[in-house]
Structure formats: C-alpha cells, structure tokens
Structure 1
Amino acid sequence: MIHLKKTGLIVTLSSVLLLSACSGNSGGESKGETKDGKKTVVVSVMMKDRFLESAVQKFEEKHSDIHIELKEYKAAPKAVEGGMGVEAISLGDVEKYVQSVTTQVISGKGADLMLMNELPQDKFVGKKLLVNLYDLMAKDSSFDRNTLYPNILKASQDGDGLYVMPISFTLDLVRGNTELLKKANISVDKNKPWNWNEYKDVGKKMKQQGYQGFDNLNSTELLFDYIEDNYGQLVDKGKPNFDSDLFRNMMKEIKSMYDDGLANEGLSGLSSEFNKMAFQMAGIYGTEEILTLPEYLEYYQKPSASGKKNGVPFKFIYSLALNSKSNVQPEAWAFIKFLLSDEMQTSPNLTGLPMNKGAADQNFNEVLQKIKSGTLEKYMLSDEAKAKKRIEEVKKLISEADVRKSSDMKVLMIASEEFKSYMSGQKSAEEVSKLIQNRVKTYLNE
C-alpha cells in the first residue's frame, strides 16, 4: 500500500503499497539453484527495508544451507535509505512493479516468495499460481498455528485455503475527538460499526456548529474504500460492473461529501483549525503509537462504504505468498515461519501489529514498562490505568478484526485515474463509469 505521511501520521492511500517491499527489476525470477551447497530462495520486494534485511541476516545465521535473495524493484534513494522510503514511490512505480511480477508469475516464472500487498491475489489464486499454506502447515508438526490471531488468519483465506500469509497488519480505523463531539452534543458509539451515510448526518451537525468532520480524507482514498467495500459486486468472478448505477451512485456520494463541505482534501491539522476537527483517518501501525495519542483522541471504527455494518476492517502490511512453481518450497516455508517467530515479530523494525499473539502481548507489556520507567517518548496519557484501558480496547478491536480490505491494485488505479475528471467536473458520472468499465474489462481479460 502507498502510505503518505501527514504531520507524523501515516495515512493509507488505499490498499496500494505500504511498505516498500516488492520485486527486482525483472520481477525477481526464482533460481532455486544450489550454490556452494545452499538452496537459494528469491523473495520479490519493491524496496528493501530494515525488517526484511535483518530477517534475512538472522535467518541465514540459523540456516547455513539456505540463501535468501531479496530482489528489489526500486532501490531506496540516499535521502531515505534504511527507512521505508515511502516518499520515493509513485503510483507509476507500483503499476510497473505489479505488471512485471504478474507477467512473470503467470508465465510460470517469478520469485519463490512475493510480498502480495499490491499484486492481484484473486487472479493468482484463480490460476492456481500460489501454494495453499494450510497444506504446508498440516505437514509441519513444528508449526503451531494457534500462536497466530485466528480471526486474522480466517479472514485472510480465499475460500477454504490460505494462499497469503499475513506477517503484520494494521487496523483500518479513524481517530475521533471525543471532547469535540461531546461539546457539539453529538453521540457516536466508538465500539459499533457505522457507514458513510451515517457519517454524513454527523458531518452536517458538526458543520452547523462551525466544526469539521474529516479534514485529511483524500477523495482517491475514499474512492478506494468504496470500491474495496463493494469489490465482490463491482468485480464478480472476473467480470466488471462499473458501468452501473451501483458505481455511479458511489461516485456521486463521494463528490457530494466534498461539495457539501463534509470532507476536506487538505490537512487543517497544520493550522489553528486542528481543534475543530472531529475525525481523522488513522490505522494502527505499532503498539507504542496507541499510547502517544492525546487523551481526547480515541479509536473509532471506520465508516463502511457498503451500506452494511461489518466488523473491524484490517489491511496487510507484510504478507507473503509462495509461488506454486517454486522448487524450493520447503526452504521458502522455513523463511515464512521465521518471520512469524517471536524473535522477528517483536523486532523494533516490524511495521504494524504482529501476527503472532504472544509477540503482540510482549510488545504491549514492554510499552507499559516504559510508562512505569518514564522512558516512553511523547507519552500523552495522564496515568498508567488509562494506558492499560487503551491497550485493552485495542486488543478487543484486534480480536474483532474480521474484514480484510483488499482488491486488485490495477483496478483501483484505473478507477482513480478516470475518477479525477469526474471530481473536477470535466466528465459526467456516466462517461467516467463507462471508461472505467472498458479499461477494467480489457485488463481482466488479459
């Protein structure tokens, strides 16, 4: 996914690219060859990062007979080397990466392991290009799937099979200014699902009193939300349904939110308007993060764009799939297992919430110890009891996460490109929906 940083907050612009881990310039073709007595496992990544590089180093120290080769599509520039390098990645880079890796995998080549965040998972699964990881788990007595969050694992399935292993994830939430909502005499239950239509009522009430609803809500990101929440209807068994009232009404609803001043593309958090903002988009990208928020900000469920009141949505940050054509599957599986180990799941370089339940609990306990010792930077809660309460609230949200936000990256990009002309008033909803329909149809038939 592409994540854009705004005043220190990481804001997800869709299920585009969060990390920077994806492929080599050629897509990272599998080698599987024996080199100096070692088996080589090629991992396709867009850009190397500290977590993956440290994982490779530590894994190879423990497995002298296996070499892990990270093939990156785009090298990190000097200015952000060693970090995530997010600012250097464009949607064009993502598109080229997706096309490169997809072409190789469909042709029977490609890397042994692939970071799947941006890749067309449905297409790969439908063409039987990925290994069902449940089959490998069943044969491996050393692997205990009970160490992982069962709800995240189940929601990550395609049918009854697990073809992509989540390594870490983020809860797709919003932060609400509880003090401001109380001042405006508006009640929103942070523990219950709601939808964008319900938010419109809240936004109108906020506006009437001189406040703002959302102010860091990018219209493209909102479009992605609408598409992802309705993906099964918009792309049904490989057939697009964008030339429909269903999709045209989605576009109209999004545009009306901005036209009516209920959402703002800008970031008023940089100005004196910050205290007038009721909600801001925000996932949870780490255990310390939840305790560095001011007391007046709390996590609320994100409005759904499907009209249904679903559970807590989540998105993958690191997620790996194993190429069914790989001839080093046991070695590749060993690396996946290592990424899920306590050692790597508690790594300070891991972005997001760990998939390993024990590692997550350890991280939360370490944060509490930092509070007790006074070493947690930017700690914003007034006492330890409130910190424990917030941790328990987040643990509850994690246990309720059962809606995986995903779709085909290429479909999202096509829609976003054409959607801009509708938002600017250059083209009608009918014209744009037909353009998207034709382009998506062409892509899906490739």
Structure 2
Amino acid sequence: MKKICLIILTALVAFNLTACGTDKGRQDSESDSNFKDNASNSTGDLSEGTNDENATIHISIDKSNRFLEVAVKEFEELHPGIKVEIKEYITPGEIIRVDADTLVGKVSNGNPDESKEKYINNINTELMSGQGADIVSVRMLPYKKYISRNMFADIGNLMKSDKDYEAAKYYTNIFEAVQFNNGLYTIPLDYTYQLLGGNVELNIDDSKWNWNDFFSAAQKNLSGVSSETRKKYILSDTDEDIFNLIFEKSYTRFVNEEEKKSSFMSDEFINLLTLCKNLSDKKHVKQSSTKISKDDLGQSAFYIYDISSLSSLASIEASEPVKNLLKLPSDVKSGDTAFSSSMMLAVNNASKSKNAAWKFIKFLLSDEMQSSPALPGFPINKDAYKQRIISETKQFSQNDSISLSKDKKTELMNKYAVFADSVAQDINSYPYADPQILKIVKEEVKAFFSGYASAQDVAQAIQNKIVIYLKE
C-alpha cells in the first residue's frame, strides 16, 4: 500500500467546516447526547481509587513515542503530586517500523511477529494475574477478551462523573465506533484512515460500494483509455494484500469470539479467496507469488493511500495526477467508514489510581496535546483540529519543495480541510481482530495464493486451527 506519512497533521479553513450544514451539526449534537446517555447507562464504577493528586500512574505500551513522552513531562508539571512512568516492551533495536496498524520487529530468528507477540504475552500474563499497569496500550491486543473478563474499566462512567468533561469537544462518533458491550473501554487518541485514488475518473457513489463494484467500474472506465496511456494493473496491491485488507475489515463475519465459533468453511470465505485470486489471474492486480519487476513500478491506475494528516491529503493532488479520492469499498456494510489509531488506551480495572489515570488520559485529549505536531494522526479533539488546520496550512503553503504557487497550496488545503472534516464525521467503525487469528489466517492463505493448495483445503486448515485456538 502506498504510504503517506506526513506527521504534521491537518490544515486549514477558518473552520468554516460548520458550513457543511446545520443538519450535520444537529446530527453531531444528537451523537454527543447519545454518547453521554450510553456512558451514564454503563456498568462499572471508576470513582474508587487513591487520592488522584498523589499517585503514580504506570503505563504499559509496546513502543513509546514523542507525543506520549512530551505529555508525561507537561502533565507532571501541572500535577506535581502525580508521577507517570512509561514501561515499553519493545526496545529500539527490535523496531524496524511502526505505523497505525503494523509493528515489524527485528529479532534474532527473523520472525517479524515476535516483537508483537512479546508484548501481547507480557501484557496477558500481567492482566491475568490481576496485576499490570494502570493504563495499557491495547492497539496490538485482543482487547475484547479482556473486556469480556472485566479486566478493563468502563471509561464512559468516568466521563459521566467528570463535571469538566465536555463530549461536544470531541468527534464522539469515533468513541462510539470502539464501544463494546454497551461501554467505552478503550480510548483512541488519534485517527487515520485509507482512501482510494487514481488517475482515472470513477463516477460512482463511494458511500455504498463494495470491492466488486470498484473493479467492475475501474475495468469499464479503463477500457476507454488508449493503450499508450493505459496502466498495466487496476490496483497497485497484490491479490494477497487485497485479501488481507478485506478479511481484516470483515473479521466478525467469520469469527464470533463471544460464542467461540468460526465459519471459514463457509461459501462466503471461500468466495473471498477466489475473488482475490481471480483479480491477479485477470491481471487487475499483481500476483503475490510473482517477483515485481522494475517495469511494474508506476503501472497501476489506482493506489490505496494511508491518510494521517491534512498535508498528506493535499500532497497527493499536489504531486500526482489523481482524478479523485474515494472511500475504500466495504464488503461489511453499506456506508462503512473505518479508521485506525496509532494509540488506543484502556484503564486496568485492578488499578488503584483510576481517577489519576483518567486525568492523564483526559490531558492527552486536551486542546494542548491534541494540537501537538507530535500526534501521529488526526486529532480527536475538534478545537485542536482547527488549530492544526491553521498551523499546517501555513507550513504547507511555505513548503518550497511543492511546485505550486502559495495561493494554490492554500487552496488545496482549504479544499481538503472540508473533505477531511466530512470523513471524520462519517467514521463509524474500527476493524477489530484477534492478532493471533490474523496471524493464522495470513500464514495459511499463502499456500492458496502461491498455487500450492485449493481454497477449500486452506479454508479447512484455517478452520481447524481457529477452532482449537478459540477453545483455549
């Protein structure tokens, strides 16, 4: 996938984004009200704990980052009686890359998943023993398992009991997207998302399309392009990449963790495998088993872009002949708009410092921290979003490496500020998947895409392993 990693975050418009319409604003108000209602109905009590002005907060995280470290320093200055200690489980020597969804570890046996497993196993041991940090980073964890076992506190209750908490300050639809069992047990600190862009115009409603719709529309449009300018592939990714992308977002169709059931032998799963393999057979995408040659570079009509800031949005149009940017197709539900987050936190239910932990999390969501350039993704805080728009627009317009006039660069940022706010308000899902199940599926499907096993045989192998795993 084509990575756009400009960490400067958001830009522009004198937050004229309310001009998106009073109806939209009314929907936001209703969403905020609904979120408060959900919080007030949640179970669990976060009010117990030690004096929140004299406590030590322990945070467990796979790998620390500048945003968190700056926040700790500034928080401790504001609250001299509270100390915050970060415990990271992945050392710098083990890290090759960390993004919103992927950690690649550099480990002795060459297994890129070992660092992730190290973190999962350590946190699991601590939580199962009733110990563990006050705040836990859950982005890499099968966190729904811990929620079901009452190991994480319902943060929604603390929001309800905090008279200074203002739901209207945040994109609460993003909080709602991660709710589970009618409670808010995890808090995303930022959000990123993916968009589909290409050099061919697609006149299609991207609010309710699936992957079949995309490939059919793209093939139809490309058939009218001259052979001299026609690209070799429709999409830059491989058949296996497309499968993994679709499967992760439709995980709950095949795995029911609550009932400990899986349905990998279903026609739906086998058809998904076949669909993705047919894409490479028809030369719509590359074959994962084929070595990519230099001649393949730049030979795709469409790319999937990772969007983490307003600058990353504007930079696509500024540097590439992209006709339009569209939401990713969804095979899960019509109108699905998914997001990822670089930081997802939970409060340990066994913590004696829940109030202090919430106070620190609330500081991470404050205008001051959410507007920080160190925040990897878009802010959840609406006022911070406005501030980042202004600062990022200024930086983008003064960037001499972008070969556009200052006015044109400002125009691009204004355009995408409205677009980005619209996407933020549409977000309604967070693709959750147990990391171990993802690992099993990704390993097993390689035999199918390499041509060594049939879809049925691979599906059966996956089903057998997942059944055993879910019973553990």
Bucket of the pairwise TM-score, normalised by the shorter protein: 0.7 to 0.9
Q: In the alignment, which residue of structure 1 is the partner of 2:30?
A: none
Q: In the alignment, which residue of structure 1 is the partner of 2:313?
A: 290
Deviations 1:249-284 (CA, angstroms, capped at 9, x unpaired): 111111111222112368999967666532211121
Q: Are positions 1:56 and 2:81 aligned together?
A: no
Q: In the alignment, which residue of structure 2 is the partner of 1:355?
A: 380
Cα contact 2:236–2:301 (8 A) shared by 1: no
Cα contact 1:206–1:212 (8 A) shared by 2: no
Q: Are positions 1:93 and 2:140 aligned together?
A: no
Deviations 1:3-42 (CA, angstroms, capped at 9, x unpaired): x8858689xxxxxxxxxxxxxxxxxxxxxx99xx952222
Q: Which has the higher strand share?
A: 1
> Which among 141, 145, 152 is matched to residue 119 of structure 1?
141
1:124–1:201 distance in 2 versus 1, CA, 3 Å: same
Cα contact 1:147–1:356 (8 A) shared by 2: yes
Give me the whole-angstrom Cα distance separating, in 2, the residues matched to 1:110 and 1:433: 37
Aligned residues: 410
Deviations 1:190-215 (CA, angstroms, capped at 9, x unpaired): 75332111122134346655324554
Secondary structure of 1:403 counterpart: coil
Give the % identical residues. Answer: 28
Tell which deviates more after alignment, 76-85 or 356-365.
76-85
Structure 2, unmatched stretches of 5+, are 8-48, 107-111
Q: Report the CA distance between 1:164 and its aligned residue.
A: 0.4
Q: Are positions 1:430 and 2:461 aligned together?
A: no
What is the letter of the counterpart of residue 269 of structure 2? F
Q: In the alignment, which residue of structure 2 is the partner of 1:332?
A: 357
> Which among 432, 441, 464 is matched to residue 406 of structure 1?
432
> Which among 54, 63, 74 is matched to residue 47 of structure 1?
63
Q: Report the CA distance between 1:383 and its aligned residue.
A: 4.8
Deviations 1:155-189 (CA, angstroms, capped at 9, x unpaired): 12113211101100112322x12xx314xxxx333
Give me the whole-angstrom Cα distance separating, in 2, the residues matched to 1:73 and 1:292: 35
Between 1 and 2, higher relative CO (CA 8 Å, sep ≥ 6) is seen in 2
Cα contact 2:135–2:347 (8 A) shared by 1: yes
Q: In the alignment, which residue of structure 1 is the partner of 2:209?
A: 194
Q: Are positions 1:181 and 2:200 aligned together?
A: yes
Cα contact 1:50–1:82 (8 A) shared by 2: no
Secondary structure of 1:288 counterpart: helix
Q: Report the CA distance between 1:351 and its aligned residue.
A: 0.5
Structure 2 counterparts to residues 20-419 of structure 1, below 5 A: 39-77=55-93, 88=105, 90-174=112-196, 176-177=197-198, 180-182=199-201, 187-189=202-204, 191-205=206-220, 208=223, 209=225, 210-236=230-256, 237=258, 238-264=260-286, 276-295=299-318, 296-297=321-322, 298-306=324-332, 308-371=333-396, 374-375=398-399, 378=402, 382-419=408-445
Cα contact 1:117–1:317 (8 A) shared by 2: yes
Cα contact 2:236–2:300 (8 A) shared by 1: no
Give me the whole-angstrom Cα distance separating, in 2, the residues matched to 1:232 and 1:370: 41
Cα contact 2:3–2:305 (8 A) shared by 1: no
Q: Report the CA distance between 1:134 and its aligned residue.
A: 0.8
Give me the whole-angstrom Cα distance separating, in 2, the residues matched to 1:8 and 1:70: 25
1:416–1:197 distance in 2 versus 1, CA, 3 Å: same
Cα contact 2:136–2:345 (8 A) shared by 1: yes
Structure 1, unmatched stretches of 5+, are 11-32
Secondary structure of 2:188 counterpart: strand
1:5–1:257 distance in 2 versus 1, CA, 3 Å: closer
Q: In the alignment, which residue of structure 1 is the partner of 2:21?
A: none
TM-score scaled by structure 1? 0.82
